[in-house]
A and B are shown apart, each in its own frame.
Chain A
Amino acid sequence: MIKIQKEDFNLENEVNSIKYKYSHIGAVSTFIGYVRNVNTSKKVTSINLEVYEEMAIKSLSSICEQAKKKWNLIDSLIIHRYGDLAINEKIVLVATFAMHRKNSMEACNYIMDYLKKDAPFWKKEFYETNFSWL
């Protein structure tokens, strides 16, 4: 499942909403990305995330399908937020569900690597007196 949303999310609720569907899930791996207050020694005050939503859904769905086949995943979940985000807020969640931990952990890394490289999101970082696009 892919969710592109402004709202925050609750990790336990999101994981449980999928885990409860399948009693043969033995391993869940999760990655959460947060807004940091520093980047390359610059003090960050907040960020704004822009998304090309239709393309993001299509490309992330495709990579989840690939990961599902490659690691025999039972299910997967990506939540990526957009809009204005403050320091310490969550940006992204990747959760992978498998029978065994090796599959869920490797698939989680794979999806996150792809997301960073190809998913159409853009980060604008705000500092005390200016901003920059990353």
Chain B
Amino acid sequence: MKIKYFAWIKNITNTDTEEISSNNIIDIESLKVYLCKKYPKLEDHLLNDQLIRISVNLEYVQDNIKLTNNDEIAIFPPVSGG
């Protein structure tokens, strides 16, 4: 699956896009566990719903939905456009 990072999140991951392939990632929660291990500095943010927004295939998600290898997931802070 493709993961995109935006704003200050990509300063922690040092990349704005990456492909992840792991049989352990089946839903949003298992993705968070994977990313917390890969990027320990993300952990506090990923566990705080006030600091992080997640989209799957261009739609905001709040529930622990299932993920597939074809999904595009984005992880970003609250928006500040306009």
A residues sitting closer than 8 Å to B (CB atoms) are 33, 49-52, 54-55, 58-59, 80, 91-92, 112, 115-124, 133-134
Contacts and interface: CB of A to CB of B under 8 A. Distances in A.
Contacts of A91: 81-82
B80 interface: yes
Nearest to B4: A52
A55 B82 contact: no
A92 to B, nearest CB: 5
Interface of B: 4, 6-8, 55, 58-60, 74, 76-77, 79-82
Contacts of B79: 116-122
Nearest to A56: B81
Chain B's interface: helix, strand, loop or mixed, by majority? loop
Contact of B80 (A54, A55, A58, A123): A123
Contact of A123 (B4, B74, B76, B81): B81
A122 B76 contact: yes
Nearest to A58: B58
Nearest to B72: A54
B55 A55 contact: yes
B82 A50 contact: no
Contacts of A116: 79, 81-82
A119 B81 contact: yes
Contacts of A115: 81-82
A126 to B, nearest CB: 14
Nearest to A92: B82
Nearest to B53: A120
Nearest to B60: A118
Given A112-B82, A134-B80, A122 B60 contact: no
Contacts of A58: 58-59
Nearest to A116: B82
A91 B81 CA distance: 9
Contacts of B8: 133
A33 B82 contact: yes
